[in-house]
Amino acid sequence: MHHDLHTEITIDAPPDTVWQVLSDLDRYADWNPFITSAAGDLAVGKRLTNRLQPPGGKAMTFKPTITEIIPGQSLEWLGRLGIAGVFDGRHRFELTGTPDGGTRMVHSEHFSGVLVPFLRRSLDKQTKQGFEEMNASLKAQAESHARDES
């Protein structure tokens, strides 16, 4: 089974500024209500240690592997619950510049595995809400940084 979550937000800051905030894992606790902590090296093949707090849900720590990183453009990781095929999530952030100097960010995740049908309601509710809360907080943080830089 497969399931996709897709959110988007427009941020009034250039992609490089948004990237600075998104890639500063040490500061996630300062602004991120969904991924409340993150640690590791941002390089393909490296593992992160992320603490996830879904709204209204139980906090959990997971250790995804980075599958793509293009500074200023994209960050993607693959997380698994146990062995491959049980519950896998390919989490992705894509940053695209807008004509007015801002950023359109797509924040998505592709879920697959035998547990997806049983977790779909939670994904559509708590996880998607977590994405949206993270997006709004990232927007506020990046726009604040952009104001400070000008």
pLDDT attached to residue 84: 86
For residue 147, what pLDDT is reported?
A: 87
What is the CATH classification number for the domain harbouring 120? 3.30.530.20
SS3 18: helix
Whether the CB-CB separation of 138 and 22 falls below 8 Å is answered with: yes
Residue 60 main-chain phi, psi, to 5 deg? -150, 155
The answer to whether residue 42 is domain-embedded is: no
Per-residue pLDDT of the chain (150 residues; tens, 9 = 90+): 899 999 999 999 999 999 999 999 999 999 999 999 999 999 999 999 999 999 988 899 999 999 999 999 999 999 998 888 899 999 999 999 999 999 999 999 999 999 999 999 999 999 999 999 999 999 999 999 888 876
Is 51 among the domain residues? no
Q: Does a structural domain hold residue 104?
A: yes
CA distance linking residue 22 with residue 106, whole number of Å: 13
Instruction: Give me the pLDDT at residue 57, please.
Output: 86
**Does a structural domain hold residue 81?**
yes
Asked whether residue 135 is domain-assigned, the answer is yes
* Number of separate domains in the chain: 1
Tell me, yes or no, whether 83 lies in a domain: yes
- Is residue 106 assigned to a domain? yes
Alpha helices in the chain (DSSP H): 15-23, 28-31, 116-122, 128-149
In a domain, 47, yes or no: no
- Structural domain harbouring 121: 2-23+66-149
